[in-house]
Structure 1
């Protein structure tokens, strides 16, 4: 198989997850090198026939993107990849068959995604392997940075007893993969420390990258100070839980509903509800909302 074979195939970008290590921030929309992280992945996949983004939808105006979501939401990378495969349906090109078609799989937190995909596309894809994945500077295989046989991924998903909560290791354990050294091109940004370090190493665009909260310490400092000002115990503020339900509401209902719903939860707690009961009530409403999970 030639290195060019995968260029015409589809792509799946995984952009879901709770981003707990970012304090619940909308990680795909975090600006790095002058634009949201997810835009790096979309540009890297621009040569593909179709681009399925699992997660969001985010404020991205790109006609090339088809949006999908895993069920249940936040079900993990294997469930997200399964949703992406479902969204692709069957290969509909004249000169390709699913038995030999490829799909590019990318995470949405790869700032060097364009260079990464160039390296992956230049790599040989032997006929006796199921996929070609990037190997980072530490020698770790990055399964969300690879080219795969579409049929192999479908078989792997079918073989899983349950995709919800399954890891990529679980999903890919039966596949034969070839690791391609890509070094720093496989850099992923899943903590604020990693984001800050990357921005420091790329100072030319750093001024554009501080549109959002820059670190969890900023958030914690703000919450503790404001809670104290309001006569509240800062240690009783469930920041992570509130960020989660705010994101879920914004994604499943409409973005402005997120902060308003958080305020409603606060009112309910003030009237005697527990935070867990209030959040459970909101999540039940989200699940019943048209278009919700």
Structure 2
């Protein structure tokens, strides 16, 4: 996908409960000196507009759009719908494609590169990452914006958007799976996942830094 020929927006999900991480926000976890949110933003470089669905930190990169799903923690389908609405309010609803990323995949930049390369203009409703073992990762995909908007509206009309799954949101779309590099969609749900990837908690690092200076 050539960014100049096929403009895209980015929609990053960063507002889950992180219940299996004791409530530590995934977006604040640190991998190779960058937070997972920063790495997701780097993976979405070239987007016409970028919306982050999640709690806004005290300081953030300029130019980002921030929003929350209503009610909060209403699930990824509701979060995607909220992000699409926020993009539309900022004049981005006509951008042909939307890159959807969860912020808990530290190596996702490689997956995004593979998705961009595989995306064929006019070829269905987009592409979705697939790992080597065949597992689909719908929160790493490039989707036709109009299709996402239509699907979100249909779910909402049936009262199925709140607590709805991403798979239910994509069920009516013609999406092509793309096998992505090994490990590029590995995500962080537990501290064991984090340890396996060498990820630290940003808040804990800051506390250690303060103690070392005292």
TM-score (norm 2): 0.86
**Correspondence for 1:71:** 70
Look up the SS of the partner of 1:185 in the other structure. coil
Deviation sequence 1:160-216 (CA, Å, 0-9, x none): 0231111111111111110000132111111110110011xxxxxx7xx354459xx
Q: Indicate whether 1:105 and 2:100 are aligned.
A: yes
Distance 2:38 2:97 in 1: 22
Distance 1:8 1:59, change over 3 A: farther
**Aligned partners of 1:10 and 1:51 also within 8 Å:** yes
Determine helix, strand or coil for the equivalent of 1:152.
Answer: helix
Q: Which residue of structure 2 aligns with residue 230 of structure 1?
A: none
Cα shift at 1:7: 5.6
* Alignment map for 1:39-58 (pairs within 5 Å): 39-58=38-57
Distance 1:42 1:210 in 2: 18
Name the count of aligned residue pairs. 200
Do 1:7 and 1:48's aligned partners in 2 also have CA atoms closer than 8 Å?
no
Matched residue, 1:19 = 18
2:6–2:96 CA contact under 8 A, matched in 1: no
In structure 1, runs of 5+ residues without a counterpart are 200-205, 215-293
For the Cα contact (< 8 Å) 2:100–2:142, is it kept in 1? yes
What's the counterpart of residue 173 of structure 1?
Answer: 171
Answer yes or no: is 1:86 the counterpart of 2:81: no
Q: How big is the shift at 1:92? A: 4.8
Looking at CA atoms only, which structure, 1 or 2, has the larger radius of gyration?
1
CA shift digits 1:217-276 (9 cap, x unpaired) = xxxxxxxxxxxxxxxxxxxxxxxxxxxxxxxxxxxxxxxxxxxxxxxxxxxxxxxxxxxx
What TM-score do the two structures reach when normalised by structure 1? 0.63
- 1:110 deviates by 1.1
* Match of residue 119 from structure 2: 124
Q: 2:59 and 2:43 mapped to 1: Cα distance?
A: 15
Please report how far the alpha carbon of residue 67 of structure 1 lies from its aligned counterpart in structure 2 after TM superposition: 0.3
After superposition, what is the alpha-carbon deviation per residue over 1:107-159, rounded to whole angstroms, capped at 9, x for unaligned?
A: 01010122221111111325241120100132111111010000000010011
User: More relative contact order in 1 or in 2 (CA 8 Å, sep 6+)?
Assistant: 2
Q: Is the CA contact (8 Å cut-off) linking 1:134 and 1:181 kept in structure 2?
A: yes
User: Separation in 1 of the partners of 2:188 and 2:114?
Assistant: 19
Local SS of the residue matching 1:154: helix
Shift of 1:50: 0.7
Match of 2:133 in 1: 138
* SS, match of residue 147 in structure 1: strand
Deviation at 1:59, TM superposition (A): 4.3
| Higher percent of residues as helix | 1
Greater strand percent: which structure?
A: 2
Name the CA distance, whole Å, in 2 between partners of 1:210 and 1:174: 38
State the Cα distance separating 1:34 from its structure 2 match: 1.5
> 1:170 and 1:139 mapped to 2: Cα distance?
19
